Chain A
Amino acid sequence: GENVEQHPSTLSVQEGDSAVIKCTYSDSASNYFPWYKQELGKRPQLIIDIRSNVGEKKDQRIAVTLNKTAKHFSLHITETQPEDSAVYFCAASIGRGGADGLTFGKGTHLIIQP
């Protein structure tokens, strides 16, 4: 099955700086790559996603890039703010043929230092 590796496990950045979280996946058939944000004690929520026919996608301060050849994708957060502090999970899905689950990375705890 799919295996998703996520790095780093903890990332501390100064407020206003950029943060980058990287993920690799194992199954070349995966074609859907979402990112979820989980604030302390709350449920995971989708913040951005990208499909395999696109190399980059932006939504205000967040962007995701995908390199299918290398099988890795990254989340970029610019001008970080205190409310960006949370655990971020990347995920990958084959999303075709038979049904499948969404395989998540182990998460990155992003800490925004004031």
Chain B
Amino acid sequence: DSGVTQTPKHLITATGQRVTLRCSPRSGDLSVYWYQQSLDQGLQFLIQYYNGEERAKGNILERFSAQQFPDLHSELNLSSLELGDSALYFCASTDSLHAAGELFFGEGSRLTVL
């Protein structure tokens, strides 16, 4: 158990819909990362938050947004969903600002868009 909690574990929805994925980092970790894992694309970095502020952006679509709340949990919002958004979405946390140490991953949220 990494200490990172993600909900829901599985989500099935239709194209055009909007979903929210939630992540609770390890106790004491201020930094939260979101990654998308598709079959042929490995782990794609989406966005990073540190202590409530956005700190780095990767290949995140404009239809996607995220935030980190004062209690440090984070939410990833995916809207106008397309079939290609079907993937496993991982949240990871660490105690530092920089990705220069171990990232602790949650179990992931599997999104299926039909």
A contact set with B: CB distance below 8 Å: 1, 6, 31-32, 34, 42-46, 49, 51, 89, 93-96, 98-107
Contacts and interface: CB of A to CB of B under 8 A. Distances in A.
B42 A105 contact: yes
Interface of B: 2, 31, 33, 35, 40-45, 47-48, 50, 55-56, 58, 90, 97-103, 105-108
A49 B48 CA distance: 21
Given A32-B101, A101-B99, 8 more contacts: A43-B107, A44-B43, A94-B98, A98-B55, A99-B98, A99-B99, A103-B45, A104-B45
B8 to A, nearest CB: 15
19 contacts: A31-B100, A43-B90, A43-B106, A44-B43, A49-B102, A93-B98, A95-B98, A96-B98, A96-B100, A98-B55, A99-B50, A99-B55, A101-B33, A101-B56, A102-B45, A104-B45, A105-B42, A106-B42, A107-B43
A89 B41 CA distance: 12
B42 A107 contact: yes
Given A99-B56, A104-B42, A45 B100 contact: no
A91 B35 CA distance: 13
A102 B67 CA distance: 19
